[in-house]
Each structure stands twice: as C-alpha cells, then as structure tokens.
Amino acid sequence: MSNIELKNIKKNYGKTTVIEGLDLSVADGEFVVLVGPSGCGKSTTLRMIAGLEDITGGDLLIDDKLMNLVSPTDRGIAMVFQDYALYPHMTVYENLAFSLRLKKAPKKTIEERITAAAEMLSLTPYLERKPADLSGGQRQRVAMGRAIVKKSNVFLYDEPLSNLDAKLRHKMRTEIKRFHIQAKTTSVYVTHDQLEAMTLGDKLVVMSDGKVEQIGTPLEIYQRPMSKFVATFIGNPTINMFTCEVVKEDDTLLIKEANGVFKFTLPESKQELLSEGMKVSMGIRPSDIFISKKNDHLPPEWRIDGKVDMVELLGKNAFLTMKSNDILFQSEVMGSEFPQIGETKLLSFNLNHIHLFDDATGINLLYK
Ligand SMILES: Nc1ncnc2c1ncn2[C@@H]1O[C@H](COP(=O)(O)OP(=O)(O)OP(=O)(O)O)[C@@H](O)[C@H]1O
Ligand SMILES: [Mg+2]
C-alpha cells in the first residue's frame, strides 16, 4: 500500500503562480478530496501527483520515495478522468485488458483480473459490448475498471462524475465509496461539488486560489469552518451571512445587524472572544433559523419577525427565503405544513451555532 506526501509544492506557469506552497499528507488507504471553486488548482495538484505536470518547487513523496522526476508509468498510480477516454473500437473486455496487454501480462492473469473487476463493478454482462452501446454510468464504470485491473496502490480521480446526470452521479458516488471500502486504495479525488466531497472524503482539502484554506474531516469542516470562504463554500443550502457590529449595552455584548434586522445578546460562551466595536460577518446555517415554537428552548430575545418571500418545497422539508428590513436570508424547516408566500412568521435564531468572521481577514474569530 501507499502513502503520499506533498511538501511545500509549488507550480508556476511562466511568471504566474497557480499553486503556492501546498502541504498535504495522504495516509495509506485514506480517501482525500480536493475541493474548491473552478480554477483554484485542484487538477494541477492532482496532475503533479500523477506526473502529468512538472513540479516547480517542493517535494512529492509516494511511499516515502521522492517522485518529482519519476515518470508517470513508474509511480504506481491509476487515474480516472471526467471524459472516460475509452477506446471506441474496442469491446469493454479489450478496453479493460489494454494496459495489461501492453505490459505483456500473462493471458490468465488478464482474464482473472478482468473477471474480478467486472464482478465488482457489475459489468459482467457487458464485456463484449462497445462503449457506444453503454450508458454513461456503465462507461464510467469501465473507466474505473481499467484503473482497478492495473492493481495500482494509488487512485487519482479528476471530476469522474461530472458528465453524469444527478441520479446516476449519486449511484456512482456510492459505488466509488463501496469500492474504496473494499479495496482500501489510497485515493485523491478532485471535485468542485461540495456534496460529493462531504460524502466521499475521509479528509477534505478546501482550496481557494492555489492555497489550502482548511484541511479536516467533513464534519470538522462543516462544524468548524476556519474562514468565511470555507463556511460559504461547504453546506447546502449556503450559510447565511449578516454584516454586523459588536455593541455593548449594560456590560453585555450584543451583535447588531447593519440594516437593523436584529440586535441579539451574544451567548455567554462567545462573549469573551469578542470586543465592542468589532466589525464581523455573522454566519448562521439555514437549519439554525426556524419558525419559533414555545418550547424551542432558545432565549426569547433571539427571535425576529420575517416575511416569507419564497418557498421551495422538497417533501419533508422546505427552504424558505425570508425577508426582514429588505434583507433576504434562508431558513430550512421540517414538517408537513409549511407557510405561504407573504405570511409573516416569528423566527428563532439558534445563536449557539453561529460563526463570527473578522470582516477584514475572513478568519473565524471563535477558533483563533
Ligand atoms: N497550461 C497552463 N498555462 C497557464 N495557466 C494554466 C495552465 N493550466 C492551468 N492553468 C491555470 O491554473 C489555474 C488552476 O487550474 P486547474 O485546472 O488546476 O483548476 P481546477 O481547480 O482544476 O479548476 P476546474 O474546477 O475548473 O477544473 C487556473 O487559473 C488555470 O487557468
Ligand atoms: Mg479541474
């Protein structure tokens, strides 16, 4: 098996720096997801690991061996791309056999590996078909199969599901996860889809502009985002951000929204971390804003009136767009009855779960 280590990895194209000193450890058997918006450098990082892109600076180690100058074929890796890159004139079997035949593997070995991979990926009935006669999901599985038969210790995936429709994407996501649990190959997976990242990764690397914003488990990233960028990027629906100032009244700190939407007393646990006059963004997830109930156990002063501006009904929950003092924000509510557009509702804000970001730096003030 294999571990991967990136030490202060840099990438320049001419004078343009696209990766700035990236440090990352991928443990043996770990599934690490690089996630971030388009252009942040995910594919470039993956391609440097694969050897498809030169490394400008820093060290890349696989299995504790320096790999910077080792050719892609000698790195013991397999790569699955977004465009499956199957040979159209070959059958599924021949596509799967291709790399092994190139390496002059014995016929029996080729047959055994293909049978096992086809079984694992439910491709056995399709081995004699050509790629054109397969669905998108089946083609994607053949692409995975090609990587599996190589018995590589490291799997690199670059947006492998982005050509599939939503339902198939979900199905393949589960299959990739199942494959990983079975095979326990060390994996690095690139996506800009935060849902894919959250559900697949043992560890997420949130990137922005060629830099690492935060590394952590999906739950750590969701519950303790270290910056406004991470909080906004991870989570669906997107976290609400309110422009606020910390004010003091009767020796108690309050958080005052800039447009007069609210002025809430801060929970005691957050008082000591802040001081009067600070300009902050208050992040609160839609699931922490809900229609008030008598027994919601929140202080009465954490409530405001809001007008229902839009309702997106999803079945057992709904996303409400609420309006207060011309400011729009989202609330996620569960249940069987939902309010109508135009109604005014009393909303509770669970301030125990808020994040406060320094307006100047974007850093989460609660985890300094
Ligand atoms: N050959 C190149 N020459 C110059 N700049 C490049 C080259 N290849 C990529 N870049 C730039 O490097 C940056 C990172 O690109 P990269 O493909 O790694 O992004 P990404 O995070 O994979 O984005 P996406 O989600 O769109 O695939 C981008 O700004 C891109 O324009
Ligand atoms: Mg990319």
Closest atom of ligand 1 to 42 CA is 21
Is residue 145 within 8 Å of residue 123, measured between CB atoms? yes
**Nearest ligand, CA 205:** 1
206 and 77, same domain (yes or no): yes
**Nearest ligand, CA 41:** 1
User: Can you give the pLDDT at residue 368?
Assistant: 67
215 and 270, same domain (yes or no): no
151 and 296, same domain (yes or no): no
160 Cα: distance to centroid of ligand 1 (angstroms): 17
**Nearest ligand, CA 208:** 1
Q: What is the mean pLDDT of residues 116-132?
A: 92
57 Cα: distance to centroid of ligand 1 (angstroms): 17
247 and 117, same domain (yes or no): no
Q: Whose CA is closest to 241, among 193, 298, 279, 206? A: 279
The amino acid sitting at 62 is: I
Ligand 1 pocket, residues with Cβ under 6 angstroms: 13, 16, 18, 38-44, 192
148 and 68, same domain (yes or no): yes
For residues 301 and 276, what is the distance between their CA atoms, to the nearest angstrom?
A: 20
pLDDT, tens digit (0-9, with 9 covering 90-100), for 283-325: 999 999 999 988 888 898 999 999 999 999 999 999 999 999 9
Q: Whose CA is closest to 271, among 249, 286, 289, 292? A: 249
- Helix, strand, coil share of the chain (percent; to 5): 30, 35, 35
For residues 109 and 245, what is the distance between their CA atoms, to the nearest angstrom?
A: 68
297 and 218, same domain (yes or no): no
191 and 313, same domain (yes or no): no
pLDDT, tens digit (0-9, with 9 covering 90-100), for 206-251: 999 999 999 999 999 999 999 999 999 999 999 999 999 999 999 9
53 Cα: distance to centroid of ligand 2 (angstroms): 13
Domain containing 335 equals 240-367
User: Can you give the pLDDT at residue 128?
Assistant: 96
Percent above pLDDT 70 for the chain: 99
CATH number at residue 281: 2.40.50.140
- Which residues lie near ion ligand 2 (Cβ < 5 Å)? 43
For residues 146 and 64, what is the distance between their CA atoms, to the nearest angstrom?
A: 26
214 and 308, same domain (yes or no): no
Domain boundary among 233, 263, 292: 233
Describe the crossing of helices 136-149 and 92-102 by its angle, rounded to 10 degrees. 20
Nearest CA to ligand 1 atom 27: 38
With the most atoms of ligand 1 within 8 angstroms of its CB, the residue from 40, 206, 208 to mutate is 40
CATH number at residue 189: 3.40.50.300
Domain boundary among 181, 202, 233: 233
The total of structural domains in the chain comes to 2
312 and 254, same domain (yes or no): yes
Mean pLDDT of the chain: 93
pLDDT, tens digit (0-9, with 9 covering 90-100), for 257-274: 999 999 999 998 888 889
pLDDT, tens digit (0-9, with 9 covering 90-100), for 24-67: 999 999 999 999 999 999 999 999 999 999 999 999 999 999 99
Domain boundary among 233, 267, 295: 233
Nearest CA to ligand 1 atom 25: 38
252 and 206, same domain (yes or no): no
245 and 228, same domain (yes or no): no
User: Can you give the pLDDT at residue 277?
Assistant: 95
99 and 48, same domain (yes or no): yes
208 Cα: distance to centroid of ligand 1 (angstroms): 12
| Predicted TM-score of the model (pTM) | 0.90
Closest atom of ligand 1 to 34 CA is 21
Nearest CA to ligand 1 atom 5: 13
